[in-house]
Amino acid sequence: MEKNVTTLYGLVGRRLGHSFSRGFFHEKFSAMHLPADYINIEIPEIGELTDVVARTPNLAGFNVTVPYKEAIIPLLDAIEGDAREIGAVNTVKVERNDHDGAIRLRGFNTDCEGFRSTLPRQAAEWTAALVLGTGGAAKAVCHALRTMGIEPLTVSRRQGCGDLTYGDLTEAIVGKAQLIVNATPAGMWPDVGECPPFPLWLIDSRHFCYDLIYNPAETEFMRRACTRGASVKNGLDMLYAQANASWLLWN
């Protein structure tokens, strides 16, 4: 079934089902006439990864998704660039020594570059942002913003987890931020009616609201921000940008 010249790439996670990455890379390989395949690698525990990599000699690289972006770090031989500061890895390059067969895993974070590269031009003038959520995506976004000289404040549902809780948000705090990023899964399909508990009445036409969710294309957060006159963007461009950045790292 599988030709022995096929180079394998994959997505490592716990429960994957339909994944964007698989479709994206299949299309890419087909358009480029590459003898390569992209597979879902579902593992119940991250500890099983070492064995999977050893048993899959043509695996050249993989993406990492929930819940392993941080848990994978102790299994890596090197953690590079943005990933080191963010503390989360979404792309791994597998390097094999032809002489002794030793395997070296190098971890990267392309969510950061995916987000940074898809901000609008006016971002060059921004100074402050509010980032909703405190997970891996929020960390990548905060790092990207800091590298651009934009100071992020994270907003959490839990006291002590972020810089602020939703209850701390005042007109002055929201008014100071030019950018509000939804880096939570609230509103993602199938829970499309959900919205982070953000005081949306404090949003106005000066705000740019970026939702990292791409399904649905317009989230409840975007819809409500739009009715307040804000500019809005979903996570689709970022999704493509981070996948293309992974491809560049593997090659």
Which residues in this chain contact ligand NAP in the complex, by CB under 6 A? Answer: 66, 111, 114, 133-138, 156-158, 161-162, 183-186, 188, 194, 196, 212-214, 235, 238-239, 242
Strand partners, 232: 209
Nearest-angstrom CA–CA distance, 88 and 70: 5
- Nearer Cβ to ligand NAP (103/202): 202
The least distance separating ligand NAP from the CB of residue 224, rounded to whole angstroms, comes to 14
- Nearer Cβ to ligand NAP (10/133): 133
| Long-range CB contacts (within 8 A, 24+) of 50-59 | 50/75, 52/12, 53/94, 53/103, 53/105, 54/103, 56/8, 57/96, 58/4, 58/6, 58/7, 58/8, 59/8, 59/9, 59/10, 59/94
Residue 139 is which amino acid?
K
| Contact (CB, 8 A) for 61 and 53 | no
The least distance separating ligand NAP from the CB of residue 27, rounded to whole angstroms, comes to 17
The least distance separating ligand NAP from the CB of residue 185, rounded to whole angstroms, comes to 4
- Nearer Cβ to ligand NAP (56/87): 87
- The residue of the chain with the least Cβ separation from ligand NAP equals 135
The least distance separating ligand NAP from the CB of residue 206, rounded to whole angstroms, comes to 24
List 3, 28, 69, 139, catalytic entry: 69
Nearest-angstrom CA–CA distance, 145 and 118: 12
Q: Any catalytic annotation for residue 3? A: no
- Nearer Cβ to ligand NAP (60/238): 238
- Residues acting as catalytic residues: 69
